[in-house]
């Protein structure tokens, strides 16, 4: 039977590269994203199904999970997330809610909603975390808190889901060259300076590529004896 996959935030960066690799490996792939045009364009380029869903909206997540009712789902990649950086003094409680709703509640609700489909397929979940959980980064407290929560629930759910044959893991990318960087609102010169500085802190001395993370995500999804694991894909920053 053909394997099936759902990749959230599959219209850009790491999610796009993961959807592309899964499709190349023969999966029937569905992607989701917030913006109709971007989702439609990516779905057409990749030859996959596209669904518009905001992971920060409970009703959208419920609707998204509804597409898999009565079906089987081999792979769920919880990749979509918001990343904005600001000193804590400038973070509002609305920011806190938006981060937690999109990066933590959305993935948890989606897992809950598609669990019967995952169980049917003996499926596997990969959550996309971040190296920031272990390394710390100024101005990233809200973002880091959401990724820490993601890693924590990954470990607990691994134990909870093991008896029903569903595996759940996470990857923790370091600095990866994706559109997320251009979305930070920095001018081109500052962007280049930040990137050049960051490269001096990475043992492999460069940013990673989205396809390099996608390879690890797909390997993790297919690793039949791996659950509750957090795999670093960060050019070595986790050991510095
Ligand atoms: N790039 C890095 O250096 C890095 C490092 C560590 C971890 N990560 C993690 O990797 C994952 C992918 O990031 P990326 O670098 O590939 O960034 P990206 O190119 O900006 O992709 C993010 C994707 O998530 C989608 N998304 C954002 N908020 C959403 C929401 N509320 N509902 C549905 N979709 C939403 C975006 O869709 P839109 O087109 O609507 O924005 C986009 O498709 C994220 O979880 C990020 O935290 C990235």
pLDDT digits (tens, 9 = 90+) for 103-139: 999 999 999 999 999 999 999 999 999 999 999 999 9
- Whether 214 is covered by a domain: the verdict is yes
Calpha distance 176→182 (Å, rounded): 12
The closest alpha carbon to 172, from 194, 154, 199, 157, belongs to: 154
User: Which ligand 1 atom lies nearest to the CA of residue 38?
Assistant: 39
Q: What is the tens place of the pLDDT at every residue in 26-51?
A: 999 999 999 999 999 999 999 999 99
Among residues 16, 90, 143, 225, the one annotated as catalytic is 143
Tokens (6 digits) for 45: 């380029």
- Whether 176 is covered by a domain: the verdict is yes
Residue 71 has pLDDT above 90, yes or no: yes
Q: Which of 42, 52, 59, 81 has the most ligand 1 atoms within 8 A of CB, as the residue to mutate?
A: 81
- 187 confidence band (pLDDT: 50, 70, 90): confident
- Whether 68 is covered by a domain: the verdict is yes
Domain residues for the domain of 62 are 4-233
Calculate the alpha carbon distances from 73 to 10, 12, 173, 189, 212 in Å: 16, 22, 25, 44, 24
- Whether 206 is covered by a domain: the verdict is yes
- Whether 239 is covered by a domain: the verdict is no
90 annotated active-site: no
Q: What is the dihedral of CA 120, 122, 128, 133, to 10 degrees?
A: 120
Cα of 13 vs centre of ligand 1, distance in Å, is: 7
Q: What is the residue with the minimal CA distance to atom 1 of ligand 1?
A: 176
Model confidence, pTM: 0.98
Total domains in the fold of the chain: 1
Q: Who contacts 27 (Cβ-Cβ below 8 Å, separation ≥6)?
A: 2, 3, 4, 5, 74, 75
CATH number, domain of 61, equals 3.40.50.720
Q: What is the DSSP string of the chain?
A: ---EEEEETTTSHHHHHHHHHHHHTT-EEEEEES-HHHHHHHHHHHTSEEEE--TT-HHHHHHHHHTTTTS--SEEEE---------GGG--HHHHHHHHIIIIIHHHHHHHHHHHHHHHHT-EEEEE--THHHH--TT-HHHHHHHHHHHHHHHHHHHHHGGGT-EEEEEEE-SEESTTTGGG---HHHHHHHHHHHHTTSTT-S-EEHHHHHHHHHHHHT-TT--S-EEEESTTGGG-
Q: How far is CA 23 from the centre of its chain?
A: 17
Q: What is the tens place of the pLDDT at every residue in 216-226?
A: 999 999 999 99
- Whether 240 is covered by a domain: the verdict is no
- Whether 73 is covered by a domain: the verdict is yes
Ligand 1 binding pocket, CB closer than 6 Å: 8-9, 11-15, 33-35, 38, 54-56, 79-83, 102, 128, 130, 173, 175-176, 178-180, 183
- Whether 174 is covered by a domain: the verdict is yes
Tokens (6 digits) for 162: 């093991």
């Amino acid at each position: 039977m053909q394997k099936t996959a759902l990749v959230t935030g599959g219209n850009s960066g790491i999610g796009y590269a993961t959807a592309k690799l899964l499709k190349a490996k023969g999966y029937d792939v569905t992607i989701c994203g917030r913006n109709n045009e971007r989702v439609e364009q990516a779905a057409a380029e990749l030859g996959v199904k596209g669904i518009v869903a905001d992971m920060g909206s409970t009703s959208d997540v419920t609707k998204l999970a509804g597409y898999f009712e009565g079906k089987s789902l081999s792979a769920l990649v919880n990749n979509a997330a918001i990343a904005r950086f600001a000193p804590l003094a400038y973070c509002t409680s609305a920011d806190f809610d938006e981060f937690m709703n999109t990066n933590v509640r959305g993935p948890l609700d989606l897992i809950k909603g598609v669990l019967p489909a995952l169980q049917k397929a003996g499926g596997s979940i990969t959550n996309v975390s971040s190296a920031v959980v272990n390394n710390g980064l100024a101005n990233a407290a809200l973002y880091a808190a959401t990724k820490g929560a993601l890693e924590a629930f990954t470990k607990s759910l691994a134990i909870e889901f093991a008896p029903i044959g569903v595996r759940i893991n996470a990857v923790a990318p370091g600095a990866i060259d994706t559109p997320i960087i251009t979305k930070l609102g920095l001018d081109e010169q500052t962007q280049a300076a930040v990137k050049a500085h960051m490269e001096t802190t990475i043992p492999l001395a460069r940013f990673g590529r989205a396809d390099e993370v996608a390879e690890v995500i797909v390997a993790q999804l297919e690793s039949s004896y791996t659950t509750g694991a957090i795999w670093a894909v960060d050019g070595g920053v986790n050991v510095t």
